[in-house]
């Protein structure tokens, strides 16, 4: 953050304000961890804060501090619209285009509040009065930690705030194994543990609460795993019928795409998940090294993200989507060929 940004944030928060905090649609651990942490901090400073998620988030995050106070826009749109319209300040966290807020796009676009963006994805939009964007950061939660430092409130990080920030950093770094995890990240994590984050219980709450159906679905996904010979690419498919057969719930496929990337010699992995309700194929992409799945997703599948982790969608059928995906790969043979 620049000194000008820090001064403006302090000015915006210098007395009690009506504040709305928003994560992206389909919020993950980083989105919920960062927004919950900021909510707890700002309420502790006397502000009136509402955290509004565009839609529901996975069950494995529903143990987090203050999560029961999260408003779900899809369920309470009118109430949420009133809070958005009345807000003095709106924070958007872990996304950088208002379209990523789903059905909240229009009310956010029409809001009169001052916007503050905190995000680590590439190519941010310019809707915010204060934009704190850093694509080198491993997570928005780490950015919120530094944001809190920059506005002089590091001493206000409670065990609950530390827990939320730790959760987001842990999930967005693949338990600290991704390239974006730096020595600075580990120093932040150490401080969060010192401030009360229980790393063992956080890990257990996120990763050791799988349902029987979820593990059966993982088995199905692994059975569907395919390798594109000669192009160091692996992909997984899951149809709506397969999801239904294993009692799929939001979040059940979290991390499945990484199993393709764990294969020896594979540098590009994808998972294609059918969503009959929205009539799309949801796509998650992962890579190793310098192969940019962000560019790949933006160019071919209406998506984006980071260099090594991105997402997108397809309006084609599952088979047509796979055919399109495979047909594109030879274009990248310099990066992918053995």
Set out the domains of the chain in order of their start, with CATH numbers: 3-207 (3.90.1640.10), 212-336 (3.10.310.30)
Q: Average pLDDT for residues 56-66, to the nearest whole number?
A: 95
- For the whole model, what pTM was predicted? 0.88
Q: What is the per-residue DSSP string for 198-235?
A: -HHHHHHHHHS---HHHHHHHHHHHHT-EEETTTTEEE
pLDDT tens per residue, range 17-40: 999 999 999 999 999 999 999 999
The backbone torsions φ and ψ at residue 80, rounded to the nearest 5 degrees and listed phi first, read -65, -40
Q: Is the dihedral of CA 212, 213, 216, 217 positive or negative?
A: negative
Contact 222, 258 (CB under 8 A): no
**What is the tens place of the pLDDT at every residue in 224-268?**
999 999 999 999 999 999 999 999 998 899 999 999 999 999 999
Please provide the average confidence, as pLDDT, over all residues in the chain: 95
Taking Cα atoms as reference points, which of 4, 13, 16, 18 lies closest to residue 52?
18
Reduce the DSSP state of residue 8 to 3 states and report it. helix
* pLDDT (average), residues 134-153: 97
Residue 162, pLDDT above cutoff 90: yes
Q: What is the mean pLDDT of residues 96-100?
A: 93
As to burial, measured by CB atoms within 10 angstroms (0-12 exposed, 13-18 middle, 19+ buried), residue 226 is middle
Give the pLDDT score at 306: 86
Q: Residue 178: its pLDDT value, please?
A: 86
Give mean pLDDT, residues 41-67.
Answer: 96
Q: Is the pLDDT of residue 179 over 80?
A: yes
Residue 297 has pLDDT above 90, yes or no: yes
Task: Report pLDDT for 16.
Answer: 96
Residue whose pair of structure tokens reads 């991105």 in the numeric block: 310
Per-residue CA distances from 144 to 94, 230, 240 (Å): 10, 42, 37
Element counts in the chain: helices (H) and strands (E): 14, 12
pLDDT score of 137 more than 90: yes
pLDDT band per the 50, 70, 90 thresholds, residue 338? low
């Amino acid at each position: 953050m620049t000194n000008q940004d820090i001064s403006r944030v302090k000015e915006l928060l210098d007395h009690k304000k009506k504040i709305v905090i928003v994560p992206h649609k389909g919020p993950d651990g980083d989105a919920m961890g960062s927004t919950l942490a900021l909510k707890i901090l700002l309420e502790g400073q006397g502000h009136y804060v509402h955290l509004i998620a565009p839609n529901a988030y996975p069950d494995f995050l529903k143990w987090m501090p203050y999560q029961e106070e999260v408003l779900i826009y899809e369920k309470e749109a009118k109430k949420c619209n009133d809070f958005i319209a009345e807000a003095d300040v709106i924070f958007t966290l872990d996304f950088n285009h208002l379209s990523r807020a789903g059905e909240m796009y229009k009310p956010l676009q029409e809001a009169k509040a001052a916007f503050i963006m905190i995000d680590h994805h590439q190519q941010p939009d310019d809707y915010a009065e204060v934009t704190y964007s850093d694509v080198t950061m491993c997570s928005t939660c780490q950015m919120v930690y530094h944001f809190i430092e920059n506005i002089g409130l590091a001493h206000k990080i409670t065990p609950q705030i530390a827990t939320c920030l730790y959760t987001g950093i842990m999930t967005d770094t693949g338990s600290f194994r991704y390239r974006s995890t730096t020595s600075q990240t580990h120093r932040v994590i150490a401080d969060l543990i010192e401030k009360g984050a229980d790393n063992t219980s956080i890990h257990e709450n996120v990763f050791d609460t799988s349902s029987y159906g979820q593990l059966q679905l993982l088995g199905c996904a692994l059975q569907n795993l395919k390798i594109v010979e000669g192009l160091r690419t692996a992909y997984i498919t899951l149809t709506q019928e397969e999801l239904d057969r294993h009692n799929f719930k939001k979040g059940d496929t979290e991390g499945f795409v990484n199993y393709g990337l764990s294969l020896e010699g594979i540098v590009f992995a994808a998972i294609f998940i059918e969503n009959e309700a929205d009539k799309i194929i949801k796509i998650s992409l992962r890579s190793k090294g310098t192969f940019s799945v962000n560019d790949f997703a933006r160019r071919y599948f209406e998506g984006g993200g980071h260099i090594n982790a991105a997402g997108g969608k397809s309006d084609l059928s599952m088979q047509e989507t796979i055919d399109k995906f495979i047909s594109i790969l030879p274009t990248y043979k310099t990066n992918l060929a053995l």
